[in-house]
Amino acid sequence: FITREQGVERMLKIVRFLKSADRFHGVWPHFLDGRTGKTIAYFGKYDDGGDLVETAFLVQGLLVARQYFNRNTKDENELRDTINELWRTVEWDWYRKEPTSDFLYWHWSPNHAWHISHPLVGWNETMIVYMLAIASPTHDVPASLYHTGWAGQSELAVRYRQGWGRTTHGDHYTNGNAYFGIKLEVGVGTGGDLFFTHFSFMGFDPRDKKDRYTNYFENNRNLALINRAYCIANPNKRVGFGENCWGLSAGINSGGGKPNPREENGTINCMASLASFPYTPQESMAALKHFYHEHGSKLWGIYGFRDGFNLTENWFEDVNMALNQAPIVVMIENYRSGLIWRLFMSNAEITPMLEAIGFEDDN
């Protein structure tokens, strides 16, 4: 594929760019100009500052790279030193908004301050934000925020979940209901988009451990199986849905993130089933073969599977969305070897963070 030296060279290019790019209290914006490093306010004028969630996804990857490139060479030493500097200068505590806040917040803008005012409340893709904020060696937040913010029971948190889920199922973070005969311990509605089970778990290994709410490996597996079961039941009579053609998640032509499968529009997102390999290896492999053999002429390209397709509308995406490509590659490798999980979990900051939150063994 590429040599180790080529990998180091590419990573150095990335971290040098990140070091010079726009940051807002150490936090990068959602989108950057790849030539200048300047902020692109893609989601409107208020989106002109730091995005804590996308930054957490990035830091998750940087910490993996810090562990992998561990040799005592000039370039690998520079790479680790730069990653350390970037990691240590993310001001997670600033995005608490106020010193007494029970939540972390998604955005901050130097021009509009907290105008977006989006508290991070689970269940969704933002679990890793709280984990890294608690693990930070320089700008940490109390471990209690994991329970008051991410898994919070406050009126604000409950109303937030009810608002986007339009259901009371899971509005107190835990759920406990069964869907298609499959129990879901945590999740709003029937669990939501499958990318919730991927983005926070590319580095964090959920196997053989639990917090006070659930074992997230088992919960993620059940969420994926519920998603597949919905596609098999196919209550809206979508063309193509079935046991080998499944996977509902946010993406192009999917109408954005939807908390309940009942709101799907017939679009299958390839990442949804393929990045679920660690949870559903047999079902994900069947989906992969179906996508390739039945629709490969329209779905497969130089970068792998394109984003998605909708047979009801006879629509096939013709681009690869990087945001959805990354979980496919990473999670398949985690299924194959556990490499990315092993590297992330080997960071010295991770075990103390998990202990502070209250994770315990669950073999």
- pLDDT greater than 70 at residue 260: no
CB of 50 closer than 8 Å to CB of 108 = yes
Confidence class for position 92, pLDDT limits 50, 70, 90: very high
Burial status of residue 6 (CB atoms within 10 A of its CB: 0-12, 13-18, 19 or more) = exposed
Backbone angles phi, psi at 182, to 5 degrees: -115, 125
pLDDT at position 319, please? 82
Helix (H, G, I), strand (E, B) or coil at 161: helix
Task: Over range 40-61, report the average pLDDT.
Answer: 97
Q: Residue 5: how many CB atoms within 10 A of its CB? A: 11
Q: Identify the pLDDT of residue 1.
A: 83
Place of tokens 């993996």: 64
**Digit-coded pLDDT (tens) for 311-340:** 999 999 988 888 889 999 999 999 999 999
Which candidate, 199, 229, 35, 208, places its Cα nearest to that of 129?
Answer: 199
Least confident interval from 102-111, 115-124, 250-259: 250-259
CA–CA separation, 282 and 301 (whole Å): 23
Residues shown for the chain: 363
Q: Which CATH superfamily is domain 172-363 in?
A: Glycoside hydrolase 144 (GH144) (1.50.10.140)
pLDDT for 254 equals: 63
In angstroms, the Cα distances linking 356 to 110, 319, 350 are 32, 42, 10
Name, in order, each residue with C-beta under 8 angstroms of 290's C-beta and a sequence gap of 6 or more. 244, 245
Would you say residue 257 has pLDDT above 70? no
Indicate where the chain has its CATH 1.50.10.140 domain(s).
172-363
Report the alpha-carbon distance of residue 249 to residue 237 in Å, rounded. 18
- Using pLDDT thresholds of 50, 70 and 90, give the confidence band for residue 256: very low
Answer whether residue 258 shows pLDDT above 50: no
Taking only the tens place, the pLDDT of each residue in 63-80 is 999 999 999 999 999 999
- 3-state SS assignment for residue 229: helix
Looking only at the bridges linking them, the beta strands covering 300-301 and 304-305 are antiparallel
- List CB contacts of 98: < 8 A, sequence separation 6 or more: none
Mean pLDDT to the nearest integer, 10-39: 98
Lowest mean pLDDT among 2-6, 251-255, 301-305: 251-255
DSSP string, 43-85: T-TT--SEEHHHHHHHHHHHHHHHHH--S-SHHHHHHHHHHHH
Q: Could you write out the three-class secondary structure of 141-155?
A: CCCCHHHHHHCCCCH
Average pLDDT, the chain: 95
Could you tell me the maximum CA-CA distance found in the chain, to the nearest angstrom? 59
The sign of the torsion formed by the CA atoms of 154, 157, 160, 165 equals negative
Mean pLDDT computed over 180-206: 96
pLDDT at residue 301, as a whole number: 92
**76, 8 in Cβ contact below 8 A?**
yes
Residue 262 scores a pLDDT above 70: no
pLDDT of 138 > 70? The answer is yes
Distance CA 58, CA 202 (A): 11
Contacts of 75 by beta carbon, 8 Å cutoff, 6+ apart: 5, 8, 9, 12
Where does the chain have alpha helices with state H?
A: 4-20, 52-68, 74-88, 127-135, 145, 155-165, 216-233, 270-274, 281-299, 322-336, 339-345, 350-357
Number of H helices, E strands in the chain: 12, 13
Above 60 in pLDDT, residue 227?
Answer: yes
Residues 6+ apart with CB under 8 A from 197: 220, 223, 224, 276, 279
What value does the CA radius of gyration of the chain take, rounded to a whole number of Å?
20
